[in-house]
Amino acid sequence: MTISLRAQRRFCALMMAATFCAPTLASDHYLGLINADTPHLQAVYKDIHANPELGFMEHRTAGIVAAELEQLGFEVKTGIGGTGVVGILRNGEGPTLMYRADMDANAVEEVTGLPYASNVKVTNLDGVETHVSHMCGHDAHTTWLIGLARTIAAQKEAWSGTLVLVAQPAEEPIEGAIAMVNDGLYTTHAVPKPDYFLAMHTIPFPTGTVVASPGRISTGSEHLDITFHGVGGHGSTPQETKDPVLMAGQAITQLQTVVSRFTDPAETAVLTIGAVNAGVDNNVIPTEATLKLKLHFSTTEVHQVMVEGIKRISDSIAVANRVDEDKMPTYSHKGYAIAVVNDEALTHSIQQQLRDAPFVDKVVPQFSMAGSEDATTLVENVPGVKIAYINIGTAAPELFDAARARGEFVPFVPHNGDYQVDLNAIKKGTKITTHLVLDLLSPNKL
């Protein structure tokens, strides 16, 4: 008599108190599937790497993802938030798991010298010509999503529930996730709300290393522009003007008190002014001046304190410079992301799962960063969702060892032109994410 693997697992779950059923995780058949699929996945990775696209310009990459998912039988939704793609695969009763990968590249010239290196230059959405390359590993993230889809679709007897795959645009400007949500991800496009949310990111640790840290692992972030409006005129008669450059200069220094005096020192708060744009000629006082701010914050409460402080100071400067009410500063809230906070219990479970996995060499249990990531903005308003955002080592071990021998912490860093992803990490990353998805959607958990 033959009993399906799903039936065996349901039986094991019922009898767990009385007997022991070894967790075979689909008899590890998925490992063989991924091994056989590796040449295809590496070819996909090289293709995406050689043809990078900036945020909200990922039309080719989105097309690759959509075509792969459609061929596998996923329900595919495209154009969400601009270029976002969602694939939905329903397979009976069980929880809903959302796995997210970002697709966009960086405005950086690649200098790796790899045979599939990017030589792409484009005109970005601001009209500026720039080099483009994948110097943050998003090409690997997208390939892992495709590898997961191909493996999970061939293993329907091993899991039960709903898998939602999200290929997200524009993570670098932290605008893509909120764009997908605002475009009606869960309403207009009827994407199922997840019980579990999983995302992975490359890190320049040796291939085979996994960083799985519970609790908060990053800050929240926002891109915010302030434009001061004034009255322009000749540089020789400033008394006839209301100088927005002067207002911007006053704001540059006064805005630093938002962190030093308004926020709790026990929290994380960073306010950086990355650009000042105003005027053209030496002898002309312009009508506008813009400051481009980058905010980092540990909680939404800290974010609120920072934004309120920024507006209070900027408005006060305008009033002090005799600005009329209709010319008060204007604010452009652009990219936004909440802090990534991993579910404690889920992350500890993942640590244990991966410590026992034959394709993982080391699990780092505690790690945090001051940077930001907009992945979990996708589920910010989903009640009860359990989040796990983990980092996958993708530096070739020999390059990592050589860097350590030189006294360097890592061989390269994200957003630099020499960032590399070890081709062996394509297979290992696919195994890691597939392993975790099969575990979370195991019939034993029903």
pLDDT in tens, the chain (446 residues): 333 333 333 333 333 333 223 344 545 899 999 999 999 999 999 999 999 999 999 999 999 999 999 999 999 999 999 999 999 999 999 999 999 999 999 999 999 999 999 999 999 998 999 999 999 999 999 999 999 999 999 999 999 999 999 999 999 999 999 999 999 999 999 999 999 999 999 999 999 999 999 999 999 999 999 999 999 999 999 999 999 999 999 999 999 999 999 999 999 999 999 999 999 999 999 999 999 999 999 999 999 999 999 999 999 999 999 999 999 999 999 989 999 999 999 999 999 999 999 999 999 999 877 678 999 999 999 999 999 999 999 999 999 999 999 999 999 999 999 999 999 999 999 999 999 999 999 987 65
C-alpha 271/C-alpha 251 separation (Å) is 12
Residue type, 123: T
Structure-token pair, residue 358: 């034959």
- Domain covering 220-337: architecture: 2-Layer Sandwich (3.30)
Which pTM does this prediction carry? 0.87
Quickly count: other Cβ atoms within 10 Å of residue 439's Cβ.
Answer: 17
DSSP 3-state of 89: strand
Q: For the chain, how long is the longest CA-to-CA vector?
A: 97
Domain 5-217+340-445 has CATH 3.20.20.140: no
Question: 417 Cβ partners below 8 Å, 6+ apart?
Answer: 108, 109, 110, 111, 112, 133, 135
Name the residue among 377, 353, 378 with its Cα closest to residue 363: 353
Q: What are the residue boundaries of the structural domains of the chain, listed by start? A: 5-217+340-445, 220-337
Region class of 7: left (phi > 0), else alpha (psi between -120 and 50), else beta: alpha
Name the residue among 249, 327, 319, 316 with its Cα closest to residue 287: 327
CB contact at 8 A, 149 and 74: yes
Structure-token pair, residue 352: 């244990």
Domains 5-217+340-445 and 220-337 share a fold: no
